[in-house]
Structure 1
Amino acid sequence: MNLVDLGPIAQLRAGRLGRRLPQLYLGLVMYGVSLAMMYRGDLGLAPWDVLHSGLIQHVPITIGQAVVVVSFLVLLLWIPLREIPGIGTVSNALVVGFSADATLAVLAEPDALVLRVALMVGGVLLCGLASALYIGAQLGRGPRDGLMTGFARRTGHSIRLVRTCLEVTVVVIGVLLGGTLGLGTVLYALAIGPLTQLWLPAFTVDLDRPGPLVPAPGSVCP
């Protein structure tokens, strides 16, 4: 499994777009579906989605629209960090939110606790698979992942520390705004890294043009 760090033009020139582009968009759509499943389960959301769910308590937008808005706000922070977006970065900012809203339009919130638990667990599992798909396509980091790697590079701190600080911050802000925090948040935090790591080797596309190797992420976010 070789993950490489390429600029946006090199990403496209690296070949195998016939597989990589469909895999990227399939992964992003599935990520949005997984968000919607956890949202309908109403037992806790992923850290950034706690923020999104809190934001919609105060602004008349959907949670999918909140994902898109926050994604582009995060991309503004890439400018001083000198992170370079790729096609996957911009696609991530748009597709996940649209997919989440489309799924929520047809997925009702169940009354039975067992079904809500199933949605929560299924959402986490699907998110791990979706993450492996879009990361393995090697077409650019998601907005939040780029924020994490940018801060890590600028500060010299570890990815683990920077990610923890960012996610604790967004969870605290989300909770203060009224976002959904619960068992699903804890399950996501514990499981998403191992699940992505488990599936990533199967979906990492070897590229025709080598670049600097980057470590496989222990956990990811869009």
Structure 2
Amino acid sequence: MNKTYARVFAYIVGLIIQSVGLSLIIRSDFGTGPWDGFYVGISNHSGLTVGSWLFVVGILLVFFNSYLIKSKPNFISLITIFIMGLCMDCCLYLLDFEPDQAEMQVLTFWAGLLLTSIGMSLYVQGKFAITPADQLMYALSHRFRLSLMWSKTLTDMGALMLAFLLHGPIGFGTIIYTFLCGPFIQFFIPKFERFFTQKT
């Protein structure tokens, strides 16, 4: 497989899988990640969809990140959030259900977390622009000389506070997502890297 085609395939398919996973987490009503909770919360208080707010907030973050690191805005990252926003709106429309039993909520959440981790691990193989929310972590680290761990914690805490104030779907699943999504991604990334290295 041509290396460029493999990267494009990984990028697009990864974003689609991630969008399906995030949509399942939202539908589980068990708790979402901080940023997704923020998007859902602000969507519930407006006429715009979750995907639309993902894109709007992403545009604002592109300029804010540019200000933090004192460089030109990275508009390429808007492609990533445009695809994600569109896919999430489609997935939330198609996955229009609410699990009414605790077992189904937990099962839906874990299926969503697994798919989200796989999708994120796959889309980064494309080596295109990361999302503005992820770029914010690097911008804070660069501007204030913080470790990436502290920058990630600060950005997630900020999004979590906004989600809480907007009555977003924050719950027990939020804790699980916060502590396990990273390790899951670390588990899957090397496997995808080996696969695409062999295929190109």
TM-score, with length taken from structure 2: 0.89
Q: Distance in 1 between matches of 2:173 and 2:151?
A: 22
Query: 1:59-106: CA deviations, max 9, x gaps?
Result: 11111222121111111212212376374x222211111111111112
* Partner of residue 48 from structure 1, selected from 26, 35, 38: 35
What corresponds to 1:191 in structure 2? 180
* Partner of residue 97 from structure 1, selected from 77, 85, 91: 85
Q: Please tell me whether the aligned partners of residues 141 and 148 of structure 2 are also in contact (alpha carbons under 8 angstroms).
A: yes
Give 2:42's aligned amino acid.
Answer: L
Instruction: Tell me the CA shift for residue 117 of structure 1.
Output: 1.1
Q: Secondary structure at the match of 1:128?
A: helix
2:130 aligned with 1:141: yes
What corresponds to 1:165 in structure 2? 154
RMSD: 1.7
Q: Distance in 1 between matches of 2:111 and 2:85?
A: 19
Q: Distance in 2 between matches of 1:116 and 1:151?
A: 35
Q: Distance in 1 between matches of 2:43 and 2:131?
A: 22
2:21 aligned with 1:20: no
What corresponds to 1:203 in structure 2? 192
Change beyond 3 A, Cα 1:66–1:86: closer
Query: 1:20-45: CA deviations, max 9, x gaps?
Result: 01110111111111111011101101
Instruction: Tell me the CA shift for residue 139 of structure 1.
Output: 1.2
Give matches, 1:38-77, under 5 Å.
Answer: 38-77=25-64
Change beyond 3 A, Cα 1:173–1:86: closer
What corresponds to 1:79 in structure 2? 66
Q: Distance in 2 between matches of 1:199 and 1:84?
A: 31
For these two proteins, the number of residue pairs brought into alignment is: 191
Give the structure with the higher percent helix.
2
User: Any gaps of 5 or more consecutive residues in structure 1?
Assistant: 1-14, 207-222
Q: Distance in 2 between matches of 1:193 and 1:40?
A: 21
Identical residues among aligned pairs (%): 27
Q: Secondary structure at the match of 1:61?
A: coil
What corresponds to 1:7 in structure 2? none
User: Any gaps of 5 or more consecutive residues in structure 2?
Assistant: none
- Structure 1 moving runs of 4+ over 4 Å: none
